[in-house]
Amino acid sequence: MVWHFKTILTLILVALLFYSCSSVPITGRKQLDIIPDNEMLSMSFQQYNQFLKSNKESTNQKETELVKKVGRRIADAVEKYFAQNNLSNRLSGYKWEFHLIESKEANAWCMPGGKVVVYTGILPITKNEAGLAVVLGHEIAHAVAKHGNERMSQALLSQLGGLALSKAIEKKPAETQKIFMAAYGMGSQIGVLLPFSRVQESEADHLGLIFMAIAGYNPNEALDFWLRMEVAMKGKEPPEFLSDHPSNSTRIEDIKKELSEAIKYYKTKQ
């Protein structure tokens, strides 16, 4: 009787996971997504505003304007691609924002709803407008591919016992905030989510190449950027098995294989 009950419970859970799957644009990969978009956007906007209040924005007007300019071009490219492929509903509720934050950290991230942050520490590595487009294309790809939603969904199941996001915020606000920050690159995590995030990183590279190409940036610039990143991170990068990012050498080889597809979008734009 107990075995029968467990079997039924397992089948219900499998069915729930199956019907909670969505597909990533362009790649078509199936992903777990059990969190309503309106809940994710609400939490995203709240966390983003909180971050901006507690972190110093750059006073360099030229660099700030460049971040906004490139970000807007990538966002326009995403909206164009999604409209052409009947996916505009996936961007419902998006309110794009681009901020440059004073920090030595070579990092950038994008939350659901198009809330983007670039740290000044990455600008010496991006070096130029096209290099910045590589970074913003990659980070925006994470958001529109719902990678954060996927990681949050996995975490709610594995760490918080399958609580709905609204209940998790109510009952375990500190744990939920920590998971959210890790899911969107605002923290670091090694553990059960690691294999998924490597896939997501490679997927964001793939989508990012296409978005920057549609925006009119030569996707070949991605190779130069990641080579510069490899030099900048030399001696600092953790072993690939402990990283939620592919190693730079792995990433560069993968990008080489994907350039021919991205170049088609770039040539169409010219």
Predicted pLDDT of residue 14: 42
Contact (CB, 8 A) for 211 and 73: no
Predicted pLDDT at 237:
62
Q: What is the pLDDT of residue 190?
A: 38
CA–CA separation, 48 and 124 (whole Å): 25
Beta strand residue intervals within 112-203, DSSP E: 115-119
pLDDT at 75: 98
Lowest mean per-residue pLDDT among 35-39, 74-78, 179-183 = 179-183
Mean pLDDT, all residues of the chain: 81
Strands 21-23 and 108-111, sheet pairing: unpaired
Q: Mean pLDDT lowest for which of 54-58, 156-160, 212-216?
A: 156-160
Confidence of residue 246 (pLDDT cuts 50, 70, 90): confident
Q: How confident is the model at residue 169, as a pLDDT?
A: 52
Tens of pLDDT, residue by residue over 114-138, are 999 999 999 999 999 999 999 999 9
The rounded percent of the chain whose pLDDT value lies above 90 is 52
Per-residue pLDDT, 124: 97
Q: What pLDDT sits at residue 158?
A: 60
pLDDT digits (tens, 9 = 90+) for 143-165: 999 887 887 777 766 655 545 55
> Residue 80 belongs to what domain range?
33-269
Asked if the structure places residue 28 within a domain, the reply is: no
Residue 78 domain-assigned? yes
Name the more confident of 7 and 269: 269
Residue 205 lies inside a defined structural domain of this protein = yes
Per the domain annotation, does 70 fall within a domain? yes
Number of domains in the chain: 1
* 46-56 mean pLDDT: 94
Tell me: pLDDT of 36 over 60. yes
Is residue 3 domain-resident?
no
Q: What is the DSSP letter of 57?
A: B
Does residue 236 form part of some domain? yes
**Does 60 or 233 have the greater pLDDT score?**
60
82: in domain? yes
User: Which residues are bridge partners to 117 per DSSP?
Assistant: 99, 109
Query: Does the pLDDT of residue 245 top 50, yes or no?
Result: yes
Give the catalytic positions in this structure. 139
Report the sign of the C-alpha dihedral through residues 224, 226, 229, 230, in that order. Answer: negative
